[in-house]
């Protein structure tokens, strides 16, 4: 089993970075919407 070449990590670094960006965007959403309504 350790010799399997087709094994893919279920949670790779790309998904980790994507989830990190989403979490930061959600936590800063009030700031983003505030600036958006200010400049609108």
Specify the pLDDT at position 23. Answer: 94
How does pLDDT run across 1-40, given as a tens digit for each residue? 555 666 666 777 888 899 999 999 999 999 989 988 988 8
Specify the pLDDT at position 14. Answer: 85
Ramachandran category for residue 6: left, alpha or beta (phi over 0 → left; psi -120 to 50 → alpha): alpha
Specify the pLDDT at position 24. Answer: 93
Closest by alpha carbon to 11, among 20, 3, 2? 20
């Amino acid at each position: 089993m350790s010799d399997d070449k087709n094994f893919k990590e279920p949670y790779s670094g790309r998904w980790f970075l994507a989830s990190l960006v989403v979490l930061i965007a959600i936590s800063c959403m009030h700031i983003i919407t505030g600036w958006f309504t200010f400049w609108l």
